[in-house]
Amino acid sequence: MHLPEPGTIEIAPSLLSADFSCLAEEVSDVENSGVKIIHLDIMDGHFVPNITIGPPVVSSLRKTSDLCFDAHLMISQPQRYIKDFANAGADHITFHIEAEGDPRDTIAMIEEAGCSAGICIKPATSPEEVLEIASLCRMILVMTVEPGFGGQVFREKCAEKCAFLRETLGKDLRIEVDGGINEQTAGKAGQLGADTLVAGSAVFGSRNRREAIEKIADSAIKS
Ligand SMILES: O=C(CO)[C@@H](O)[C@H](O)COP(=O)(O)O
């Protein structure tokens, strides 16, 4: 499924906090709870100090789900893996501005592979660094924690970059926020202009995923 058009608030559960012994059931649980997007955290143990999943796992999950697969490549050399993740079933591929390679070439490769492209900034990176290429992307991802691990505390200062990006770039692209999003912090993220909220521990750490998702969405919508 393609990334939903801008104009709606979407919650994207982050697979990193799911139970890896039964990933297909975990994905299906959130799919049945009404989300349109699943956020796939791809880590290489080099760009970030953690290792997660590769294309074979994405490909297996693709057979079980119709969700939009939002692949967040936390890897040093994204260009080496774009085709593999696209062939595995990613719909949208986000890479880091801090990673290796010319970002324009990386975006072109993502589109050639049949996916929409996104660019991500880490907490220390200024949003101005993505302005020139923003119009080539369907979504900008603003990290509100240092990438690598779930369960960290939301950094409001980082989320303020969303307000700058929204004001400068308008409403025609999605702004995604990732890290420490829960019922308490989603309102602030929404107020600052984010419309796509990644939530890992707040969704998968909850017994009732539907309720957790609805509470996060409500708080973002009411903001
Ligand atoms: O990309 C990352 C971490 O690198 C995130 O997607 C986290 O996995 C979000 O987890 P929570 O902060 O929501 O628990």
**Distance, CA 180 to ligand 1 centroid (Å)?**
7
Residue 50 Cβ inside 6 Å of ligand 1? The answer reads no
Q: What letters, b where the CB count within 10 A reaches 16 and e where it falls short, cover 33-52?
A: bebbbbbbbbbbeebbeeeb
Answer yes or no: is the C-beta of 49 below 6 A from any ligand 1 atom.
Answer: no
In a domain? residue 94: yes
Q: Is 41 one of the annotated active-site residues of the chain?
A: yes
pLDDT the model gives residue 222? 85
pLDDT band at 1 (very low <50, low <70, confident <90, very high): confident
Distance 63 CA to ligand 1 centre (A): 24
C-beta 147 within 6 A of ligand 1: yes
- Calculate mean pLDDT across residues 88-109: 98
Q: Does residue 119 lie in a domain region?
A: yes
1 occurs within a structural domain: no
Instruction: Point out the annotated binding site.
Output: 14, 39, 41, 72, 148-151, 178-180, 200-201
Give Cα 127 distance to the centre of its chain. Answer: 16
Return the ligand 1 atom nearest residue 14 CA.
Answer: 6
**pLDDT tens-digit map of 133-145:** 999 999 999 999 9
Q: Within a domain: residue 2?
A: no
Complex confidence, ipTM: 0.98
Q: Is the pLDDT of residue 56 over 90?
A: yes
- Total number of domains in the chain: 1
pLDDT of residue 223: 77
**Residue 186 burial (CB < 10 Å; 0-12/13-18/19+)?**
buried
Cα of 179 from ligand 1 centre, angstroms: 5
Residue 3, domain member (yes or no): no
Q: Whose CA is nearest to atom 7 of ligand 1?
A: 150
Residue 201 lies in a domain: yes
The separation between the first and the last C-alpha atoms of the chain, rounded to the nearest angstrom, is 28
The one catalytic residue among 70, 91, 178, 195 = 178
Spatial CA neighbour of 41 closest among 52, 30, 31: 52
The answer as to whether 217 is a domain residue is yes
Q: Over pLDDT 90: what percentage of the chain?
A: 99
Q: Say what the pLDDT of residue 148 is.
A: 98
- Give the tokens for residue 42: 């791809």
Of 150, 140, 92, 139, give the one whose Cα is nearest residue 116: 92
The model's pLDDT over 159-178, given as tens digits with 9 standing for 90+, comes to 999 999 999 999 999 999 99
How far apart, in whole angstroms, are the C-alpha atoms of residue 142 and residue 22?
A: 29
Range of the domain at 101: 10-222
pLDDT of residue 32: 97
pLDDT at residue 51 above 80?
A: yes
User: Looking at residue 66, what is its pLDDT?
Assistant: 98
State residue 123's pLDDT score. Answer: 98
pTM beyond 0.90, yes or no = yes
Whether 18 maps to a domain, the answer reads yes
Alpha helices in the chain (DSSP H): 23-31, 55-62, 82-88, 103-112, 131-134, 156-169, 186-191, 201-204, 209-222
Check pLDDT > 80 for residue 42: yes
CATH assignment of the domain containing 142: 3.20.20.70
Annotated binding site for a divalent metal cation: 39, 41, 72, 178
How many CB atoms neighbour CB 179 within 10 A?
26
Whether 120 shows a pLDDT value over 80: the answer reads yes
Q: Give 72's contacts (C-beta < 8 A, 6+ positions apart).
A: 39, 40, 41, 42, 94, 118, 120, 141, 178, 198
